[in-house]
Each structure stands twice: as structure tokens, then as C-alpha cells.
Amino acid sequence: MATICAHRAPFAAAKPQAPDGGPRPPPPSAVGSPRWIRRSYCSLVARWWSAAERRSRKGEEEERPYLSAIGKAADPDGGAFQENGLLDPTLLAIGRTQNLGDDSVGEQRTEEPAGVLEELETNGDDSVSASRTVLDSSVEVSDSSTVPDSIVEETEAEKEVLVSSSALDVEEEEETDEQEQTQTRVTRTIVFVSAEAAPYSKTGGLGDVCGSLPISLAARGHRVMVVSPRYLHGVSNKNLANAIDTGVRIKVLCFGGEHEVSFYHEYRAGVDWVFVDHPSYHRPGNPYGDSNGAFGDNQFRFTILCYAACEAPLVLPLGGYTYGEKSLFIVNDWHASLVAVLLAAKYRPYGVYKDARSILVIHNLAHQGVEPATTFEYLGLPPQWYGALEWIFPTWARKHALDKGEAVNLLKGAIVTADRIVTVSQGYSWEITTAEGGHGLNELLNSRKFVLNGITNGIDTNEWNPTSDKHISFHYSVDDLSEKAQCKAALQKELGLPIRPDCPLIGFIGRLDYQKGIDVIRSALHELLQDDIQFIMLGSGDPETEDWMRWVESTNREKFRGWVGFNVPVSHRITAGCDILLMPSRYEPCGLNQLYAMRYGTVPVVNCTGGLRDTVENFDPFANDSSGQGTGWRFSPLSKESMLLKLRVAIQTFREHKASWEGLMKRGMSKDFSWDSAAIQYERIFDWTFVDPPYIR
């Protein structure tokens, strides 16, 4: 037993049974107990074993005098000594050792943790008996006449040493546990490739994801780079003021020529933000188009981005050294999809990036980067790779009878070459495998369902925080909702609506297009405005819908306001001031506005689709012993009637059941929608990605 204790072997490795039975001391927790408690347990088991064996051999052993601390006391038989007169090392393995009656097994005595009470008995007469109580790591001997004064003094001194060393052990272990919790299990070099990244460029959820998720991953110990275009919008971009020219230039061979690309770099929030500079990114408008529509050369512009992103980890010495070939590429939507194809077609065949992996993140499957088949030769890919991008439009989608429907689909190329595929919600990962939500790629996605996962997006909890939001005049929290009413009154005053705290205020924020269910709102609004409610809409898009918003406002001045365009401060004030947020989207890969609304105590009423179904829990007033559960209302199918039904239930709850309404608000505000939670799930996907070899080798 001494050997087991000396080598700190697991207690489960040896479970000796006492010769005459008897209960074995219970072991301490293997996880939560400090090391000094586990060491003391070894000595406790040793004494239990020794005492039990002596009881079984009672009457057969001879009394031996007490041994001194250094083993110099007289021992008639010398059984506990080696030839040099010192104690046997096996008896010294645990500390102070006293032989009380057996030549081979000495009873080992050492200081114990607080609260351990034990009595040890010796054979023969009781003159050598010692009743020992150990409290607060101290040693007390009841019959001090049998123990020399030198031993008592030495024991007291060692007690102080043990207490101090035990405290150090506990402190060191707590520090180690804290460090292990803050460090990730495996750190990786990660390269995000995206057409937009907030705050440098943003048109929707894609910019939010690529502006926030990299920061959360970097905070967890990963080395992260984000590669996106350097948009100057015709003049300059103040958000890029801190990005400096790296001096690195590369030549990209595509679209029948050689194009020079440069890199700008900014290190912020632990992330390397890399901006690809090319004249095609210097035009007015948003990243994809202007007032005349989408740019006609978008395929060229984002092909340049993909080539530059593949070269960036190899040529940019950021922080003194490059990211290297064992990088994990996160390619977002069709704009970055060519990265996965390039790795498989132009790098791995030549031994480059053979240990790299790629993950395709689909934010919106409706946008696939489809162009005429004749443009394939401009992409710079080997001819045999045409099949990876080949796309044939169904007959009903062709323009005329002679149209063969042949095209290239960049998103399809990433689906068949990426190592894994992720969508921005679990519900959407299922929807894209159906004929209704697959946009023609459902069969292909079904074939790769085993590597398809969904992770719900997070939100920037610093920017969207009702306790500190700079865009609202009054601040509140889940513990004190009083100021939310002030936000509502301030919004009504700003927009010229009557200030009525008791009137339900419904809001809509989003693009004015078919996906967002604008046609359903238009068909139901006249009937909805017959009720005593107020309605606010913020958005831009379809010109006809914009004109309709202006007309409705002019005819319903007391109940309706339409803000044509998009304004960030106003969107924050609408989110904080409204009672209900309406989202009748036909499909919603994730949706962020419902997350913002719940964060601000605004109750969402949504269509049951995609990320809306995943994030909004339907209200049940009778759950949890009638205390209620849920954070909003979901309706299905998407129709005028079902939407009006749920809206009226929400309006009635607001008016007549204040306690239930407050519970809805607080449950929504208590939800964790931070990017830290999403980052943990992404790390799991990263681990799975590197388990298998590259999908295309």
C-alpha cells in the first residue's frame, strides 16, 4: 500500500480488503479535491489496512517501543531497519512513519485534512495506545507521557509547514483550473473570406457575422484573419482609415489578363483584418451594386477576392510570420465560394494547402452566383473542373425555346468541394434540403447531409444593449423595465404619433421585398389599422412598396408611419420603443431583428420558418404552473389570416394580461444570443473538419 501512495497511483488501481473485513474509508472526489487531501487519503487507507491486519493477528505480535522521528529508537528485532540503521524507504514513502507492531507493515501517520477523527489501537497492553484526533490539519496526542517532547515540538513545526504548503497547493490548482477554462482545447489558424465585414462594410446579416464571430474566436485563443474587399465607394471609406498598406503585391491570372492586387491590414480586437485592394472596389454604391442595379462584373470582382484570399496566408507576414498552409478557410456565400474550388483544383495538386480545410457557410441560398457557362474559361480553372460548377436551368426557367439553360454556379462549386457546410440556423439547414427551400440545390445538399450543420447566429451584445445603447435616450434592463415606456413615448414623439402608452405599437424593420413577406403586410394592413393600434415601418427596396408606404402614411396620420430608407439609430429606437415586432418572412436563414427585439424586451410575432422557428419560442400561458413560457408568437402558414390571428392574440395579451406580457419581455431579455455561445459550436465543427482528410485531395 505504501508503494501505491508513493507513486500517486489511482485509488481504483488497488482496493485491498482487510483480513477481518470492515468498512474502507471513502475516497475523496477525484475532481474537486485538492492534491493535499488526496495525499492524506493515502495515509488514511494505510492506517486502516494496518490496524485491520493487526486486529486479525491480535495476540501474535510483540510489543515494540515507540520509534523516533528519524528511526533511531531501539528495535529489538530490527525488522523496520535496513543494515545502515535507517527506516525502510517503503515506510518513509508517506512521511512520518511509526511501527506499532508489525515487521512488514508499519502504521503510517501524517497530518490529515480538517474534520478527520480516528483512533488507532495497538496490541498487547494499552500503554502504547494513542488516541489521535485530527482537526484543522493539527495533531493532538492524548497520552503525551508516551511521546518524547522533541516529537511533539517537531510535529507542531511540521504542522505549520503542511498548512502553508497545502494552501499553496490549493491556490496553484485553482489558478490552473481557471487557466484551463479560459483556454481552448485546440487553437487554429482561421481565415474568413467574405464580401463584407462590419463595421467596414455591411448590407445585412453577412456583415454582422463576419464582423463579430472572428472576434469571439480570437478571444478564445485562435489566430484569425478576415479577408474582404477594400471598398472606397468612389471617394474614401472612413472606416478604413486605420488600415495600412502592407506593401505586398500579387498578380492574379483570370479573365484573360493579369491583375495586380495589393493588401491593406489593420489589427483590431485580436483579429487581422485584411483588405484586398483593386480598382473594381473603388466605385460608388454598396458592395454589390448601385441605384441602377447589380454591377455587371460582380463575378470578376469576387473572383479577384477569392484568389487574393488563397494567397494571403502564404504571403502576408502578419505579426512577423505568415498563417501558413495548415489554415482553415471559412468561405461565406457565393462571393467567396471559389476559394474552396481553388484549393482543390489549383493548390493541392501541387502539394500546397494539402493540410488545409474549408467550410462553406450559407447565409442565403437564394443567391448563388450564377453566370453564363461561357464565363467559366475566365475563372482560371483547369478545363476538367467545369463539371464542379456546371449548372443547368430547368426548362421552365429558360428564356426561350433555344436556350439550353447552361450556366456556371459558384455556390454549387463550393458545395461539392468544401469539407463541411454550415448554415446560420438549424432550421435552415433542414429547409435547404427540401424542394421548397433548396432553390434547385436540394438534391445536391441532401447528398452531403452528413457534413451539413446549422448554428444560429449571435448578435453584438455591446452594440445592442438596452442598458447602454447610445442611440436611445432612456436605458433599462431585465431587472428594471420602467424606462422602456419612456423609449416608447420618445419614439412616438419623434415620429409625430400620438403619445399613448396603452396603445400597442407594432414595428417592422427590413428590406421591402418578396422574401420579407411585404405583400402579406400590404394585404392585411388596412384591416389591422381598423383596430386601436399604431404601426411603424422602416426599410427600402421595391419602389412600388416605398410609394405605398408614403400613401398609407398620408391617409392614416394617427396610426401609421413609414420611413423609406435605412437608418441605424432609428432602427435602434424602433426596436427599443415598439411593443411588438412583426416578421412575416417567407424564408429566413437566421434573422437578426427578432434577436434584437427580444434583447430589448420587444415581443416578436414571426412566421414559423428557418431561424425564426429556432429562436422564437411560442407563448404558452398555462405552462410552468400557469406562470407561462415562451418569448413570442409563431404563425403558420404564411397568410393574411394566420398573421392577423396571432397579432390580435398578442394585442389582447398586451392590453389585458400585463403580468403575462412582462413575463414574455423578461424571458426574451434573459436569452443568451451572444457570439461566444455560437463560437463554441463553431469550434466543434472545426474539430470535426480536421478529423477526416480533405474532401477533395
Please, what's the largest Cα pairwise distance for the chain?
Answer: 114
Question: Looking at the predicted structure, is the pLDDT value of residue 157 above 90?
Answer: no
pLDDT at 58: 52
Q: Could you tell me which of 14, 71, 17 has the C-alpha nearest to residue 42?
A: 14
Q: Could you tell me which of 206, 199, 203, 330 has the C-alpha nearest to residue 273?
A: 199
CA dist 266 → 206, 215, 315, 667 (Å): 20, 13, 16, 39
Comparison of pLDDT for 85 and 366, the residue scoring more: 366
Give backbone dihedrals phi and psi of 29, rounded to 5 degrees, phi first: -60, 130
Q: In what side-by-side order are the strands of the sheet with 390-392?
A: 370-372, 406-409, 390-392
Q: Which residues pair with 605 in a beta bridge?
A: 582, 633
CA geometry: angle 281, 282, 286, nearest 5 deg: 70
Rounded CA-CA distance 319/270 in Å is 11
Question: Looking at the predicted structure, is the pLDDT value of residue 100 above 60?
Answer: no
- Provide the 10 A C-beta neighbour count for residue 44: 22
Rounded CA-CA distance 406/389 in Å is 11
- Provide the 10 A C-beta neighbour count for residue 175: 10
Pairing of the two strands 370-372 and 406-409: antiparallel
Instruction: Work out the average pLDDT over 478-493.
Output: 95
pLDDT at 400: 86
pLDDT at 590: 93
pLDDT at 440: 93
Structural contact between residues 682 and 219, judged by C-beta atoms closer than 8 angstroms: no
CA dist 214 → 218, 270, 669 (Å): 6, 9, 25
Structural contact between residues 54 and 18, judged by C-beta atoms closer than 8 angstroms: no
Rounded CA-CA distance 424/455 in Å is 5
Give the DSSP letter string of 559-580.
Answer: TEEEEES--HHHHHHHHHH-SE
pLDDT at 395: 85
pLDDT at 43: 52
Rounded CA-CA distance 204/97 in Å is 73
Rounded CA-CA distance 376/365 in Å is 21
Structural contact between residues 63 and 128, judged by C-beta atoms closer than 8 angstroms: yes
pLDDT at 499: 95
Contacts of 583 (CB under 8 A, 6+ apart): 508, 510, 516, 517, 591, 593, 594, 604, 605, 606, 607, 612
Pairing of the two strands 603-607 and 633-635: parallel
Pairing of the two strands 603-607 and 370-372: unpaired
Rounded CA-CA distance 216/202 in Å is 19
Give backbone dihedrals phi and psi of 261, rounded to 5 degrees, phi first: -125, 140
Rounded CA-CA distance 512/328 in Å is 36
Q: What is the mean pLDDT of the chain?
A: 81
Give the dihedral of Cα atoms 618, 621, 626, 629; nearest 10 deg: 30
Q: At what angle do helices 658-670 and 640-656 cross, to 10 degrees?
A: 110
Instruction: Work out the average pLDDT over 150-174.
Output: 50
How many residues does this entry show for the chain?
697
Which of these ranges, 182-196, 253-267, 539-553, has the smallest mean pLDDT?
Answer: 182-196
Contacts of 660 (CB under 8 A, 6+ apart): 619, 621, 628, 653
Question: Is residue 82 classed as helix, strand or coil in its secondary structure?
Answer: coil
At 18-59, the pLDDT tens digits run: 444 455 555 544 444 444 444 444 455 555 555 555 555 554
At 218-228, the pLDDT tens digits run: 999 999 999 99
Rounded CA-CA distance 134/116 in Å is 6
Rounded CA-CA distance 368/335 in Å is 8
Which cell is 72 given? 533511531
Helices (H), 578-692: 593-599, 610-615, 623-626, 640-656, 658-670, 675-691
Secondary structure element (H or E) that encloses residue 67, with its range: none
Structural contact between residues 647 and 582, judged by C-beta atoms closer than 8 angstroms: yes
Pairing of the two strands 406-409 and 390-392: antiparallel
Percent of all residues in the chain with a pLDDT value above 90, rounded to a whole number: 64
Q: Which pTM does this prediction carry?
A: 0.72
pLDDT at 194: 97
Q: Could you tell me which of 67, 76, 91, 47 has the C-alpha nearest to residue 150?
A: 67
At 228-263, the pLDDT tens digits run: 999 997 666 788 999 999 999 999 999 999 999 999
pLDDT at 627: 78
Tell me which range, 127-131, 563-567, 664-668, is most confidently predicted by mean pLDDT.
664-668
Secondary structure element (H or E) that encloses residue 606, with its range: strand 603-607
Rg (CA), the chain: 36
Contacts of 449 (CB under 8 A, 6+ apart): 433
pLDDT at 406: 93
pLDDT at 568: 87
Rounded CA-CA distance 447/20 in Å is 66
Cis omega (within 30 of 0) on the bond before 89? no
Question: Looking at the predicted structure, is the pLDDT value of residue 604 above 60?
Answer: yes
Rounded CA-CA distance 525/65 in Å is 100
Secondary structure element (H or E) that encloses residue 40, with its range: helix 35-56
Distant-in-sequence contacts of 156-160, Cβ < 8 A, 24+ apart = 158/96, 158/111, 159/111
Give the dihedral of Cα atoms 294, 299, 304, 306; nearest 10 deg: 110
Rounded CA-CA distance 39/283 in Å is 71
